[in-house]
Chain A
Amino acid sequence: MQAALEGRGLTRRYDRLLAVDHVNFTIGRAEIFGLLGPNGAGKTTTVRMLTGVIVPSEGTALVDGHDVVRETLAAREHIGTVPEEANVYVDLTVWQNLMLMGELHGVPRPRRTQRGKELLNLFGLNDRAKQKGRALSKGLRQRLMLCMALVSDPSVLFLDEPTTGLDVASARLIRELVVRMNREKGMTIFLTTHNIKEADELCHRIGVINKGRIAAIDTPAALRGKFEALHSVEVTFRETSPDAQTLSALDKVTKIKALGRGFRVFTAQPGAVAQEIACLARESGATIESIRTCEPALEDVFLRITESPPAKEEKAHD
């Protein structure tokens, strides 16, 4: 099956700075793909190359089989974008903004009118259709930008930090609508975000970009699984407890962190270590108040990946 989006050695230089360095990935149809990375990692540059706003220095990308360098316009016909720092036309009304975007994408008038009404309804902007863009709050503008990106029924939607700076309710609504578009329309979504929780919640797969290179691509669960050393056992004791030195002497324990009346014990085998802690407590007369094994948070995984030097070249799978 043809991929919805494919990066082939995508590279971008700004004078001496290598902003994006031979990035390869393949994103399937109806997939929600998240690109995570610290500031300046190359997320926005990657999105700009994929949407044809800037030209790659090397390599290329395919959107629905169309080369973004050689068939820029054809590729752009398949995409909708909400750029990171974009805005609506503040002098136009909500409806005019929407219709303008439809016209720019060549959507015939009856179709764009119908689609516009559906979107305003879906995004709760119906009663604001005649309001000028300048009268909208940030959250409402973001909703309108999403509507503008969707009016042409794109097969691939690019969202560059779509919920940054939004209040909790607006951010949640946008996340819900993104998932809905993906499920109902089979839309492929390419999302960049700083919000790791958001990526974990929304994305089928996540790519971590660091210093312009893809350091890891996988499902959130698999990414967590790859970092076994980040698994842990969290244990709290009543009154007396074994000391940290005794716990760290247990087999397979990699690190100990004190937590109030207990410890967080890092290990690749949390089940076995939990049993050993229970035995140790029994032998030493300590009473365990609570004990649980913890999966690594995606945030821990992200920090671990971005703190280490990027992998030489990692190719994504379908």
Chain B
Amino acid sequence: MIESQRHGPQPAWRRQFHGAYVIAKKDAMIYYLKPPVFIYGVLFPIFFFLAFAIGRQVAPERIVPGMLAMALFFTASAVGPMVTPWERRHKTYERLISSPVPALSIILGDVLAGASFGAALSVIPLVLGTALTRSVLARPGLLFSCIVLSALCFAALGELLAAPPTNNPSQVMMLCNLVRLPLIFISGVFVPLAEMPRWSRCVLPLSPLSYCSDLFRSAFGSANYFPLWFDMLMLAGFTAAFVGGALLFHHRARERAL
């Protein structure tokens, strides 16, 4: 229990959660409509998908889960890299970190904002995909769980990538793409994991997007490559690792970036 001047004694988790909620609300109000978030989070996956899909004979049941996974990956990981460098550049960062909000709450707030953005926008490819193709959503509950887990995981990845002590969002976006683009190729977004080349199957466990693709494919009735519980466990594990890494690296970069 933490004794708070204003809240009285209250559990630490409640304070953390309240702080994260306030930060997420602020991020949503300020950053969702920023051009880089729109470009890298919305336009980028659309054109990337079109480049993959147009002119190729890909079965609809393969397209929709892949499109959904990629859209979620880009949208959820687009907000986090914007927030911290933007706040540093606009001189609001110092005030934010001098407020009585734990560092973990600031990280979790940014993650929550990114995850909500990703999850909300994933409805668009889901609706379009199921309406325009003959894909059938076999397991809605699994799809929902996968969207929530994956959105949190990708948003946490975005937050981790925002750690470098720079006040230039485009530098962080560049780093993000350096990490995100290779992951698209090794994660079986458009090709079922079992059908991927051997070398690729060796590295795909290293990417959280592989587990997301596997779960989406399963939600649309295809066979899964890993056991579902393992997919979920790995996504949760990656999320925890990314949040832990973000906390560590943001803390290290904090003073240098002031």
Contact = CB atoms under 8 A, between A and B. Distances in A.
A93 to B, nearest CB: 10
Interface in B63-116: 90-92, 94-102
Contacts of A107: 6
Interface string A67-107: 00000011011110101011111111000100011011111
B56 interface: no
Interface string A11-53: 0000000000000000000000000000000000000100111
A145 B94 CA distance: 13
A89 B23 CA distance: 13
Contact of A83 (B25, B98, B102, B255): B98
Contacts, number: 83
B99 A90 contact: no
Given A48-B258, A104-B101, A105-B99, A78 B5 contact: yes
B26 interface: yes
Contact of B26 (A85, A100, A105, A108): A100
B2 A53 contact: no
Given A51-B98, A77-B100, A104-B100, A87 B91 contact: yes
A101 B92 CA distance: 11
A152 B258 CA distance: 24
Contacts of A250: none
Contacts of B91: 83, 85-87
Contacts of A311: none
B100 A105 contact: yes
Nearest to B95: A86
B142 interface: no
A86 B91 CA distance: 5
Contacts of B6: 77, 105-108, 152
A148 interface: yes
Interface string B220-258: 000000000000000000000000000000000001001
Interface residues on A, range: 20 to 34
A104 B94 CA distance: 14
Interface string B188-210: 00000000000000000000000
Nearest to A148: B95
A90 B90 contact: yes
Contact of B22 (A51, A55, A104): A104
A100 B2 CA distance: 22
A150 to B, nearest CB: 13
Contacts of A48: 94, 258
A87 B3 CA distance: 31
Interface in A165-207: none
A303 interface: no
Interface of B: 2-7, 15, 18-19, 22, 25-26, 29-30, 90-92, 94-102, 255, 258
Closest A-B pairs by Cβ, 9 of them: A87-B91, A76-B100, A104-B99, A51-B98, A77-B100, A83-B94, A106-B6, A103-B22, A77-B5
